Amino acid sequence: MFNQLFPNVEWSGIVEAMLETFYMTLIALIGTFILGMVLGLFLYLTSPGGIWGNKVINIIVATIVNVFRAIPFVILILLLFPFTDFLIGTLRGPNAALPALIIGSAPFYGRLVEIGLREVDKGVIEAAKSMGAKTSTIIFKVLLKESTPALVSGLTVTAIALIGYTAVAGIIGAGGLGDYAYFYGFLRGYNDVVFMCTVLIVIIVFVFQFIGDGITNKLDKR
């Protein structure tokens, strides 16, 4: 029955494309988490009234975040071609999409990290300071610990955005379901291929959302 509904779908190819989408999303999510966490911490800690309170550094980091958030992802991919070619050695395939995916998503997640940290009760931070806690202790034992549910929720939102970015990256030959839908579906006029790729992307989004919501609810003790 599936073959009748989707006569132009090559199942081996679409399974490979789905695995490439998972690969790009997961690897990029790890890089985004690390870089976004650093950006978010700097935004929070250097803000007025923050532990490090440095206006100059805060403005610099905020500017970097805002600039990269403002650049449309498809344009960012093109801008990063020289960097990607230098770093990866190729402009095609899933690995070639990773630099743009990480650089495009990290500023977004960085803002979500900053928002999550701002939700931490300032009374808890002041109490830790009064007990003589070091800055590192306040960061890891208070700020990050108390904001964990918000950080995981933000990472879930970022993961879903990344899935959409992988589809866009597919248009320039990065692989994945976006690549398959465009080159093997749209350009050949195979609407069943495009539809199947769309359904699979929606399923992947639901999987990430379900896992992320489950972890967030488990961590949230409120």
In this structure, what CATH number is given to the domain that contains residue 159?
A: 1.10.3720.10
Query: Which pLDDT belongs to residue 106?
Result: 96
Domain count, the chain: 1
Q: Tally the residues of the chain.
A: 222
3-state secondary structure of 83: helix
- Closest residue by Cα to residue 61 from 75, 80, 79, 47: 47
Taking only the tens place, the pLDDT of each residue in 22-61 is 999 999 999 999 999 999 999 999 998 788 878 999 999 9
Taking only the tens place, the pLDDT of each residue in 123-159 is 888 888 888 778 888 888 889 988 999 999 999 999 9
Q: State the Cα–Cα distance between residues 61 and 6, nearest whole angstrom.
A: 49
Does residue 1 have a pLDDT over 60? no
Does residue 189 have a pLDDT over 90? no
Q: Is the dihedral of CA 52, 55, 60, 64 positive or negative?
A: positive
CA distances from 187 to 13, 138, 183 (A): 16, 54, 5
3-state secondary structure of 48: coil
Taking only the tens place, the pLDDT of each residue in 194-214 is 899 999 999 999 999 999 999
Q: State the Cα–Cα distance between residues 183 and 188, nearest whole angstrom.
A: 7
22 C-beta neighbours (distance < 10 Å), count:
18
CA distances from 149 to 31, 77, 113, 119 (A): 19, 31, 11, 11
Query: Which pLDDT belongs to residue 29?
Result: 96
Instruction: Extract the tokens encoding 28.
Output: 């990029």
Q: Residue 187: which domain range?
A: 2-219
Q: State the Cα–Cα distance between residues 143 and 210, nearest whole angstrom.
A: 26
